[in-house]
Homo-oligomer: A and B are copies of this chain.
């Protein structure tokens, strides 16, 4: 079966492109051209069936929720709840980042239940099952192939952690070193064996697998900065240059590609990071983790990431990986997942208002009209999280009233409406 990209190049409009066009207020031809150019991807494994979502230039900024058990907290039921809550609160995608035991079974369960695209980071499984810390190349490819057959729609592969980029890292010392799990595992192989990263050296083999199942590349940033002090450094950019080359190679092979970005980035460097990724990676969709804009707020990094994510989205980032209040502290709980999804959707939408994505302005304006009319039911219906909005107002002393407990009878909206009505009478 041909990939979305191969079909787009032939001018074939797939059902998935139709779906994306319809959901985004674009024409099928626009979507097809965007996919053909590599500016859009539609992650959609050939073995799966769900409502297709597009990621890339001109489309609504998408949001991913990371779920998955860990060796220290392995409760499959809880991860299924996280999947359901992520979808309920509007995530466009989930990644199963489980580590620990029985990973194939957990993944099969999550894939079968997921109504949205699902991504993974296959090296986690190989590392979880490796007795020593050294990842074996053959096991890694076998694992990737098995996951592709299972129906994974996109995979993070840290192909850019190479002998050359690890050298760049050594040449310009960092405060926080490597903070990507995949990056640290592959750098360890390179340092300890002197061998090249198999995901880089055998990149064509990877393309073969991805092509066969139409798995979308998510070229991982294994050397992303883990401290605001390390942002936009030589190692990060050396890796980004490699990712740009590989993105082009993958597209030439017919594979869909997006590229991942940092990380911990001060606010005034976020826009430059988007510019660099778009420029160096041929306009490939940019998938950012955060970025978080300060290092000192564990417990609130979903807010830090919303700041960086909003600025990134406004500057052209296409896909935001959520960050939850648990970041840097623990595996997220179900509540953390909800908080992370909504915070990230908020950031994405703030960016969409700037990017003039169809429907974004209209959504805000509908809410403003509902506010002006003190129409609470309309406000709840339009709220990004209708359940919380209702809970806060209706749980207060002003339940059922047209004003709220913040201002009471001094409500400015009420005063202004009455004032205009009185004035009009004269």
Residues of A within 8 A of B (CB): 70-73, 99-100, 124, 127-128, 133, 175-181, 183-185, 187-188, 191-192, 226-230, 266-268, 293-300, 302-304, 306-307, 310-311, 314, 325-331, 342-343, 346-347, 349-351, 353-354, 361, 363-365, 367-369, 371-372, 379, 382-385, 388-389, 391-393, 395-398, 401, 403-413, 415-420, 422-423
Contact = CB atoms under 8 A, between A and B. Distances in A.
B329 A177 contact: no
A296 B383 contact: yes
Majority SS of interface residues in chain A? helix
A393 B133 CA distance: 25
Pairs of residues from A and B, 7 with the lowest C-beta to C-beta distance, nearest first: A227-B368, A299-B388, A71-B408, A184-B415, A188-B419, A330-B396, A184-B412
A176 B375 CA distance: 13
A135 to B, nearest CB: 11
A125 to B, nearest CB: 11
Given A364-B229, A371-B295, A73 B177 contact: no
18 contacts: A70-B405, A99-B408, A124-B410, A177-B417, A179-B416, A181-B412, A187-B416, A228-B353, A267-B314, A295-B364, A298-B389, A300-B342, A304-B350, A307-B311, A325-B392, A328-B406, A329-B404, A330-B404
Nearest to A339: B300
A360 to B, nearest CB: 9
Given A349-B294, A354-B267, A393-B330, A365 B229 contact: yes
Contacts of A191: 419-420, 422-423
B371 A412 contact: no
A350 B407 contact: no
A132 B187 CA distance: 73
A412 B183 contact: yes
B307 A350 contact: yes
Given A330-B404, A406-B330, A365 B175 contact: yes
